[in-house]
Amino acid sequence: MKNRVLNLKLAVLAIAVLFMSCSKDDDSGAGTEEEAYNTEVAITDAPIDNANIQAAVVTITGVEVNGNAVEGFTATTVDLMTLQNGTTELLGNIDLKAQENASVSLILDYESDVDGDAPGCYVETVDGTKHALVAASNKIDIAQKVEVFASTANKIIVDFDLRKTIIAAAEAGDEFDFATDAELSSGLRLVNEVEAGKISGNVNDSQNTSETIVAYAYEAGTYTEAEAEGQGASNVTFANAVTSAKINNTTGAYELNFLKEGDYEVHFASYSDTDADGKLEFNGELQVESATGIDLSMIEITSQINLSLNVTVVGFVGQ
């Protein structure tokens, strides 16, 4: 009998201890919030392959991440062509929880710049003429999402790819325009600098095959010859390239910046202004050889890496 009473008391005590422990755990979780990390938002530009353009200006009046305004942002008018080869301009900061799919939106002013001068967004050609840029909506909801890490080093890069987003205008008397809303949405790229690397190097074109050479980075296995043909409503060539770089005509240097970790292939295309109208015409894809034996169809990029890729032009593909 004594043993039975003792066992009953022990059982009641065990249940009480378990209940108190569960209550304590519940209380400790109540009211706590997931940690947020201060995240910078910056903008950069992938170059446009048009020799007649000397400036591409946009006026940004708002930046949103997950629908929330970026702190510290004031309206800015910026020449995107000054933000190439890894150069960025800080737009502001926002506190974000770690997540895999953060969304970013830009709000543009097509009418006037921050000084009140018209237009707010435009292309300036080498003759000094400003060509207004407009789209159906003044808000660009970037299709791609970006990961935010549990880190104090988060920096979301908005890559405004001019080559994909600025097109020949359909209306007479207006030379340039923004692409369709859908193409604008997909023509801007997002990457967190925490997980980004880059490819840089030199192109040796001793045969002088090209007036201009452009390097295109693709996710490995995604490139086809059809990329050289215009695609979509705006007839964009090399539309599926992750990013691109114009090779310096003097030094042969180039940089493919802010590449998210993964495997890539790099292709080089030849352009010349064959009819002297200030616009570059596509000559063909160049056949190149790596100076260090790197397989250009399978290039592994890891975070913070700067992969050196020097190549020599040996001719045209298929010739």
pLDDT in tens, 196-233: 999 999 999 999 999 999 999 999 999 999 999 988 88
227 within 8 A of 265, measured Cβ to Cβ: no
Domain count, the chain: 1
- Yes or no: say if 239 and 218 are a contact pair by the CB < 8 Å rule: no
Q: Which two tokens stand for residue 105?
A: 């939106």
Contact 283, 313 (CB under 8 A): no
pLDDT for the residue numbered 52: 85
The reply to whether 225 falls in a domain is yes
140 belongs to a structural domain:
yes
In a domain, 194, yes or no: yes
Burial of 152-165, coded b for 16+ CB within 10 Å and e otherwise, reads eebbbbbbbbbbbb
Q: Rounded mean pLDDT of 246-272? A: 97
Question: What domain range includes position 121?
Answer: 36-316
Considering the domain boundaries, does residue 128 fall inside one? yes
Other CB atoms within a 10 A radius of the CB of residue 306 amount to: 13
Pairing verdict, β 176-178 and 68-69? unpaired
Percentage of the chain modeled with pLDDT above 90: 78
Assigned domain for 13 exists: no
Strand partners, 284: 270
Q: Is residue 27 part of a domain?
A: no
Residue 11 confidence (pLDDT) above 60: no
Tell me, yes or no, whether 119 lies in a domain: yes
- 146-204 pLDDT, tens digit each: 999 999 899 999 999 999 999 877 665 678 999 999 999 999 999 999 999 999 999 99
304 inside domain? yes
